[in-house]
A and B are shown apart, each in its own frame.
Chain A
């Protein structure tokens, strides 16, 4: 789908990664530290070794028509890229297959280990490291999607709630790390601890700045496995994300200083440096916001190109990265804030399937390139040319990094805790300090160092590598035992519960109210003001009108739980066999056929392809409500076997009566009624409604108010009924006309006879009950011949409608959230008491003989 072209694009990007080994000359990047002796076109290393000689055949003069020819040169670059990607991913596959290993050693460390092995193989074949992570590949093709993913899936409330702390750690902490490390190393060199090194103070500062930042990739990889509590996680994670941006900025400033040379640096230059720091950081963030808004705006109007709308998110995110890079603003911060800013709006604006595409594609790219990064971090190490050993320098760096990380964290936390209501505990501080993993960003920056100006570049590079290995492998492995040992508060795995969501909302409003009354301008007050502003302006600007109203958190949970319940209902029913018919293919086809026959003349255009869809059976996937399915699906698969069939079935039937839910979740289909299923559904509902009102008119009873609530259950319930053996005895033949959704195929009536009546209902109901026709449906009504419109609405209707009325409120008792509250679970009938006694009888009668769904499972 939308991912194809994107993956093609990224493949093309990744191509450069490996191709660098082959096309040194063509790649005019001066920073590439690679291949000394290789000819550009030799292609005789690594996996390419066997094929090198055959590539030349192309140039041989053509004497006869070759049937096939070997064209390695033609494909070598993308081929190698693809090969490397698959090799890296296979490594991950192998690692993840051994859970007992990953429980002890984090995946990132294992990937680096695999990198060592692969690097060794390449080295063994070529006697040189032909494949390395170049900074260009890393910063342009591997990093952006990871950062975009983190921004996109950022828990916004948590992030902004702790933004103060995160910023303090990210900005002050990083500067502190860089400066203190530089000073100490410089001091040690002066003291003679490291022998004879040609590194000045500024260069130390440069080194300090590149190695100061905690790496988000490494941090996520490790922390995702230990499940610490969310505040702790967001502090470490947010810090690592933002300080990447900070460290790049710092690096650039220091780099400029080094280029300027010590003598030219005066107070003005330093002030300029500081100003540039802020301009770059905030400029990048603002640019990201701008792009986020752009994406949101764009997704407002991508209704007609739904297939590729998911792609916009990626490409605009990437553009925000590149634009920031072009303007020499902080690209990382830009793409982070782009993701943070747009997530809410695009999730609401885009079609559900697109949202899922984005979500998954994002994870595929991020996880994929994370894997590649770690493997290549390992591979890059197997290279004799970069290794320069200086025990003093390396050990001292390691030592200082650890020490200053702890010191910085403790000092900053002490300051923060004076302002925080819930102070950060000592144990959490230890974890934050210990979670200071360095990673690929530091390595990428180290590769960027200019050898002409920094003589000891290789020493810095391999020190960086060692620091990375030490933190990722050693600290990564010990993190889990440490967390257990210190008894760090873990994240509580809480189930979705409505009461919790409701209470959260009560809390929020209550606190705001108290602040308003007491006249304080506090946290809650600000948040409330922001929410109001967002509701009034941003949403109006960035959200589609159709979705603007319908994005309440509580409702989403309600809907999700409902779906879950319904699914377990079906699962249960299947297990007990009472819903066996659901799997029955013929039931479907019958239903469709019946439907089709009857309406083909009336709604030929709408129904045109319905039957074919139904018969194929696969069309259910196209339903407009796959929305929540994704999550629910996963959960379902975990717990139950063979739910899939019923799941698709549910998608098809569940949404039908759910008028309120329907337009909330079928976002793009909201205004235009294009979906055949939907049309059917409205038709059926209208029918039923019509029958009801007809009955009430006849009997002088007020029409039931909440038919919409019942219809859905009705749908479900009917299925068993339709199959039950005793069904027919209580029906009289005219019935069938009004039970369109019956799976039962007692189709012994003539089409022309039943047609007029139906048409009448359609038209009449549409007018009489506008509630049930949320969208005027021109296609349906225009086909009604006027002479048919007022043909007999005779007495034969009263009887079936009465029956329909009787059946409607009959609800399956175990759909707890779907059913109107009936706290006493005595029996299904208790709910019905106010209804006519006939209802009760009816309800009992209709219970499928084979095990009724369990009534008390929720208690």
Chain B
């Protein structure tokens, strides 16, 4: 028992330092990964799309896509994977780690930026570093697609208005001929100035073994 403990600790050491998860958390995630991928080494989009609870989620597509997005792997790569391994899976998950009380201000800032990048990438589907109106509209339309009978036009209007808000806060003195091309990451950061990202955007990853719940 002890041997396997150290063995897995050794195996995951790398991941632990990279993602900041604890050994138990990684083990839990690994278990879940196996479960989702049906004991394969890699996970495909279908695997994620088949999750039952996800069916009602309006932004399911964006979420699933985010897992296969190379930008979320901290490696300055673009494009997307066809399938992801466990490491990629955990890397994506690590964006949702809660801040720990021991963190320094700098670490907190870094974490905040990290989370914002994730969110930004989710909106910026064509990787050009800008959330254009089209991209934003798409997200908002999907977001509202499940809530009652808000028509597409309305959703579009909402997206437009929200975009205008961003434009007007970020470019306060826009010339009459200027064209707001899209939300850049800097503007995006500005938008979330007030929001405590590091504490808002988190999921509580359990330390204890949750296998009993899933089995």
Seen from chain A, the residues whose Cβ lies within 8 Å of a Cβ on chain B are 421-423, 492, 494, 497-500, 502-503, 505-507, 509-525, 528, 532, 548-552, 554-555, 558, 561-562, 660, 706, 708-709, 816-817, 820-821, 823-827, 855-856, 858-859
Provide a sorted-by-A list of 28 A–B residue pairs whose CB atoms are within 8 angstroms: A422-B199, A498-B158, A498-B162, A499-B162, A506-B59, A509-B58, A512-B53, A513-B60, A513-B63, A514-B96, A517-B48, A518-B203, A520-B203, A520-B210, A549-B149, A551-B148, A554-B147, A558-B157, A558-B161, A660-B153, A709-B157, A817-B164, A823-B163, A823-B180, A824-B179, A825-B174, A826-B176, A855-B176
Q: Are A552 and B144 in contact (CB under 8 A)?
A: yes
Which positions 51-71 of chain B face chain A at CB distance < 8 Å?
51, 53-54, 56-60, 63, 67
Q: At the interface, yes or no: B186 with Cβ under 8 Å from chain A?
A: no
Closest Cβ of chain B: how far from A619's Cβ, in Å?
A: 29
Closest residue of A by beta carbon distance from B148 = A549
Q: Are B151 and A532 in contact (CB under 8 A)?
A: no
Contacts of A510 in B (CB 8 A): 59, 63, 119, 122, 201
Q: At the interface, yes or no: B23 with Cβ under 8 Å from chain A?
A: no
Contacts of B96 in A (CB 8 A): 511, 514
Given A507-B201, A519-B32: A827 and B165 interface contact (C-beta under 8 Å): no
Q: Are A859 and B147 in contact (CB under 8 A)?
A: no
Closest Cβ of chain B: how far from A407's Cβ, in Å?
A: 23
Given A509-B57, A706-B153, A858-B164: A517 and B199 interface contact (C-beta under 8 Å): no
Q: At the interface, yes or no: B40 with Cβ under 8 Å from chain A?
A: no
Q: Are B147 and A552 in contact (CB under 8 A)?
A: yes
Q: Are A518 and B148 in contact (CB under 8 A)?
A: no
Q: At the interface, yes or no: B9 with Cβ under 8 Å from chain A?
A: no
Q: Mark B126-151, 1 if CB is under 8 A from A, else 0.
A: 00000001000001100110011111
Q: Are B165 and A498 in contact (CB under 8 A)?
A: yes
Q: At the interface, yes or no: B204 with Cβ under 8 Å from chain A?
A: yes
Q: At the interface, yes or no: B154 with Cβ under 8 Å from chain A?
A: yes
| Cα A562 to Cα B161 with chains together (Å) | 9
| Cα A464 to Cα B48 with chains together (Å) | 62
Which positions 67-112 of chain B face chain A at CB distance < 8 Å?
67, 93, 96, 98, 101
Q: Are B176 and A824 in contact (CB under 8 A)?
A: yes
| 4 shortest interchain CB distances as A-B pairs | A549-B148, A821-B160, A817-B161, A823-B180
Given A498-B165, A517-B51, A519-B35: A421 and B199 interface contact (C-beta under 8 Å): yes
Closest Cβ of chain B: how far from A742's Cβ, in Å?
A: 27
Closest residue of B by beta carbon distance from A820 = B160
Closest Cβ of chain A: how far from B214's Cβ, in Å?
A: 6
Most chain A beta-carbon contacts within 10 A, residue among B139, B147, B148, B161: B161
Contacts of A516 in B (CB 8 A): 51, 53-54, 57
Contacts of A505 in B (CB 8 A): 143
Closest residue of B by beta carbon distance from A562 = B161
Q: Which of these, A421, A518, A524, A708, contacts B98 with CB under 8 Å? A: A421
Closest residue of A by beta carbon distance from B31 = A519
Most chain A beta-carbon contacts within 10 A, residue among B57, B164, B202: B164
| Cα A520 to Cα B101 with chains together (Å) | 22
Q: Are B172 and A859 in contact (CB under 8 A)?
A: yes
Q: Mark B198-215, 1 if CB is under 8 A from A, else 0.
A: 011111111000100110
Given A506-B143, A519-B32: A494 and B165 interface contact (C-beta under 8 Å): no
Given A550-B149, A558-B157, A706-B153: A514 and B63 interface contact (C-beta under 8 Å): yes
Closest residue of A by beta carbon distance from B90 = A518
Q: Are B203 and A522 in contact (CB under 8 A)?
A: yes
Given A519-B32, A555-B150, A826-B177: A816 and B161 interface contact (C-beta under 8 Å): yes
Interface contacts beyond A516-B51, A525-B53: sample of 7 additional A-B pairs, CB < 8 Å, sorted by A? A499-B191, A513-B59, A514-B96, A519-B31, A558-B154, A816-B161, A821-B163
Q: Are A555 and B158 in contact (CB under 8 A)?
A: yes
Contacts of A511 in B (CB 8 A): 96, 201-203
Contacts of B36 in A (CB 8 A): 517
Closest residue of A by beta carbon distance from B172 = A859
Q: At the interface, yes or no: B16 with Cβ under 8 Å from chain A?
A: no
Q: Are A421 and B143 in contact (CB under 8 A)?
A: no
Contacts of B165 in A (CB 8 A): 497-499
Closest residue of A by beta carbon distance from B197 = A507
Contacts of A521 in B (CB 8 A): 210, 213
Contacts of B173 in A (CB 8 A): 859
Closest Cβ of chain B: how far from A231's Cβ, in Å?
A: 11
Most chain B beta-carbon contacts within 10 A, residue among A532, A552, A827: A552
Contacts of B31 in A (CB 8 A): 519
Contacts of A549 in B (CB 8 A): 148-149
Contacts of B210 in A (CB 8 A): 519-521
Closest Cβ of chain B: how far from A497's Cβ, in Å?
A: 6
| Cα A477 to Cα B158 with chains together (Å) | 45
Closest Cβ of chain A: how far from B128's Cβ, in Å?
A: 17
Given A498-B165, A507-B201, A518-B93: A513 and B57 interface contact (C-beta under 8 Å): yes
Q: Which of these, A512, A520, A817, contacts B157 with CB under 8 Å? A: A817
Q: Are A502 and B148 in contact (CB under 8 A)?
A: no
Q: Which of these, B133, B148, B214, contacts A550 with CB under 8 Å? A: B148
Closest Cβ of chain B: how far from A167's Cβ, in Å?
A: 19
Q: Are B205 and A520 in contact (CB under 8 A)?
A: yes
| Cα A706 to Cα B155 with chains together (Å) | 13
Q: Mark B180-200, 1 if CB is under 8 A from A, else 0.
A: 100000000001101100011
| Cα A503 to Cα B192 with chains together (Å) | 9
Closest residue of A by beta carbon distance from B48 = A517
Contacts of B171 in A (CB 8 A): 859
Q: Are A859 and B174 in contact (CB under 8 A)?
A: yes
Q: Are A548 and B161 in contact (CB under 8 A)?
A: no
Q: Which of these, B144, B161, B194, B213, contacts A494 with CB under 8 Å? A: B194
Closest Cβ of chain A: how far from B198's Cβ, in Å?
A: 10
Contacts of A532 in B (CB 8 A): 56
Contacts of B164 in A (CB 8 A): 816-817, 821, 823, 858
Q: At the interface, yes or no: B15 with Cβ under 8 Å from chain A?
A: no
Given A551-B148, A555-B150, A859-B173: A517 and B63 interface contact (C-beta under 8 Å): yes
Contacts of A503 in B (CB 8 A): 191-192, 195
